[in-house]
Amino acid sequence: MLENLTQQPPDKIIMLSGMFRADERPEKIDLGVGVYKDANGNTPIMRAVKKAEQLLWDAETTKSYTALIGDGGFHKVMADLVLGDTVAAERLSFAHAPGGTGAIRQILELIKVASPHATIWMSDPTWPNHPAMVKGVGIPMKTYAYLDDETRTVDFAGMMADLGQVNAGDVVILHGCCHNPTGANLNQTQWQQVADLLLERGAIPFVDIAYQGFGDGLVADAYGVRLLAQKFPELLISASCSKNFGIYRERCGLVIAVSKDAAGSALTQGMLSSLNRLNFSFPPDHGARLVTMVLNDPELRADWEAELEEVRNSMLGLRQKLADALRTETGSDRYGFIAEHRGMFSRLGLSEEQVAKLREDHAIYMIGDSRFNVAGLSDKVIPILAKAIVAVGG
């Protein structure tokens, strides 16, 4: 049986990580993997999370299962973090899943059961796992324009033109903030126009919000998803705690589904419970427990928010420093968009050949489409990167 399997293409990010580890050059620079790193190249445990772990160590009395959909306290604090008071609680249903990826997968499974003929639309470009998972679940998909290759800003006219072709019942994936891989984001006016168009077309928004707090702040980053929650009878959300709580390996994600009314919510909740049971039964609890403790404790929450702001401002500062360094090296402002983008990623607009030369000639590793991790920068790395970009013809 197993000999009938076909070789699967390697994940580009995982493959790049392997190449980086195998590179023996001491000056090598990793700008590929999407994890936050501090100035020393480490991914630290956040202060509030560490304190919560110590408290949990003392207080926890069992490792028994929680519910199929996870702990209700986690659902509540995350609904407040993502949606605020925009939706009545009786319209919400939840499913804790292994990471944001797991939440996306559960939502795709839900869509396939609820509306097997729906088409899923996603931005071009988008996070590579979006189309891979949609294909894996077997749902038809299309793309809408998103990035203007010349200005490196949102191609809003192209986006609206493509979304104007969406059919009633289709599902449109939108990045809640900090678009991955481009770093280019919708402004509030654009969010309003997208919402009105999708409402007119009868589409169902699916918001992937994986970086809340990394862009313009916790509330500002939730503007789009909260706007959609206010306007739409139905909304699907995948939320991740990997980045903003720094608990990557704990695999802490959440499905939040907004239904038309309480009856629809109960029906959706039953299906989400069933999907969890079929796919992995009970979700992991440790990360969700820590998030719940941090968000419910005023002192821990204040410390978490303060450290999250430190992280956000650090990335904004690195963006500005790189844009300034490239302005100096190129004598132009063609890389000024880096300072305007938000989140962990931007795409430089380099060719795959230029990216390969960065790797081969300068030991600088980034994804082939020139997506780089802002958090991989430092005051030491920035001038080296800027000179290398110019050296390869960027």
Q: What is d(CA 60, CA 328) in angstroms, rounded to the nearest whole number? A: 55
Do 209 and 238 touch, CB atoms closer than 8 A?
A: yes
Tokens of 345: 């990623």
> What positions carry a catalytic annotation?
127, 208, 210, 243
Q: What is d(CA 272, CA 254) in angstroms, rounded to the nearest whole number? A: 11
**Within a 10 A sphere around the Cβ of 93, how many other Cβ atoms?**
23
Cα–chain-centroid distance for residue 5?
31
Q: What is d(CA 268, CA 262) in angstroms, rounded to the nearest whole number? A: 10
Tokens of 310: 């430190």
Do 163 and 194 touch, CB atoms closer than 8 A?
A: yes
Do 31 and 348 touch, CB atoms closer than 8 A?
A: no
Tokens of 203: 């589409």
Cα–chain-centroid distance for residue 359?
26
Do 110 and 275 touch, CB atoms closer than 8 A?
A: yes
> Which residues lie below 8 Å from residue 378, measured CB to CB, with a gap of 6+?
39, 41, 318
3-state secondary structure at position 130: helix
